[in-house]
Amino acid sequence: MNFKIDKNLIANRIKLIELYLKRLKEMQALTIDQFAIPDNFAIAAYNLRSALEAVFDICAHILSRIPGAQVEEYKQMALEMGRNGLVPQEFARNQLFKMAGYRNRLTHFYFEVSPKEMHEIINNNLNDFVTFLKNIKKILNY
């Protein structure tokens, strides 16, 4: 790696993602009816959105240190992470790109997100965070 990153900033975001993931994994035990209770749904939405924000904070920080890689749009960040070999390209084009889109949906179109949809994501897609973290930890050498 030929660029200087703030390892403490990234390590702090990693800790946050791990905390949010732990909370989301606990919610996997809920039935869809339990999950749809407004407070449970709100807690899940907060933790998922916060985990996604932390993922893209990491991406933005790393990409801002690479000449010519600065991007402002989350989906573009996902693709740049792959182009620069920071995550596998297939992961960047598929999962990370979708994570960027879902972050935007949770932030700007939150009123369209249903408990059923989020319940499915929490039960089927949390490993995308694990894959992202593995790749980032390689960059940090830990």
Q: pLDDT digits over 47-89, tens only?
A: 999 999 999 999 999 999 988 776 889 999 999 999 999 999 9
Q: What is the pLDDT of residues 88-116, one digit of tens each?
A: 999 999 999 999 999 989 889 888 899 99
Residue 1 lies in a domain: no
Tell me if 2 is assigned to some domain: no
Say if 61 falls within a structural domain.
yes
- CATH number, domain of 42, equals 1.20.120.580
In a domain, 27, yes or no: yes
Structural domain harbouring 47: 7-140
pTM of structure: 0.93
CA atoms of 74 and 84, how far apart (whole Å): 15
Q: What is the pLDDT of residue 19?
A: 98
Domain presence at residue 88: yes
Q: Considering the domain boundaries, does residue 133 fall inside one? A: yes
Residue 17 located in a structural domain: yes
Domain membership flag for residue 75 = yes
**How many structural domains are present in the chain?**
1
- Rounded to whole angstroms, what are the CA distances from 84 to 79, 96, 103, 128? 9, 14, 22, 19
pLDDT digits (tens, 9 = 90+) for 42-54: 999 999 999 999 9
